[in-house]
Amino acid sequence: MIMRCQLVCHKNHVGVGDWYLAESWLISSNTYLSISDWSAKADKCLTYKRIKGIETAVIATNAPNSALPTDNTTDKFKMAWWAAAMYGFPFQWSDIWYSGGNNTLNYYASPANYGTFFTGDPIHNSGSTSNYRTTDTGMITVVGNGSSAGTGAFTPN
């Protein structure tokens, strides 16, 4: 009796329809992170979407068990949310344990309607401390120093 084995080839690369989770999106455990590192990562994710069809979702985090329903009023949340909006990426805010310590995942409504399409690519100025992208109805801005301050906003036309 001869037994034959059939090898199954598995895809070892990502492509159209695959997702990437970009963790520590500007804020990790309620701490500001490097803006220049973020802008390089974000631009790379946008390139992967355009070239390979890979989708990106992003998450920024508060300290353990500390994500609150009112966090969307903080500059850290606004910075991370608007940075996600700048790239058209789905965003979530949670605690660093991803709600594993308290089983609570808060809902945060979108801060504003910022248009229906982008009219240009993201622009990074001054070592990425000032970032913006225009839409059909205004401009998304993300500013900060990567260590102690930062925020995001939308300015209508």
Q: Summarize pLDDT for 94-132 with one digit per residue, the tens.
A: 999 998 888 989 999 988 899 999 999 999 998 789 999
Place 85 in a pLDDT band, splitting at 50, 70 and 90: very high
83 found inside a domain: yes
Q: Summarize pLDDT for 27-78 with one digit per residue, the tens.
A: 999 999 999 999 999 999 999 999 999 999 999 999 999 999 999 999 999 9
pLDDT at 5: 47
141 found inside a domain: yes
**Nearest 5°: phi and psi at 78?**
-60, -40
34 found inside a domain: yes
**Nearest 5°: phi and psi at 104?**
-125, 120
pLDDT at 111: 81
| Between residues 13 and 33, the one the model is more confident about | 33
- Would you tell me how many other CB atoms lie within 10 Å of the CB of residue 33? 19
Judge whether 57 and 89 are in contact, CB under 8 Å: yes
131 found inside a domain: yes
79 found inside a domain: yes
Reduced to 3 states, what is the DSSP secondary structure of residue 57?
strand
Between CA 71 and CA 82, with CA 94 as vertex, the angle to 5 degrees is 60
8 found inside a domain: no
pLDDT at 110: 87
Q: The domain containing residue 97 runs over which residues?
A: 19-101+113-156
Whole-model pTM: value is 0.89
DSSP result, 130-157: EEEEEBSSEEEEEEE-SSS-EEEEEEE-
Tally of domains in the chain: 1
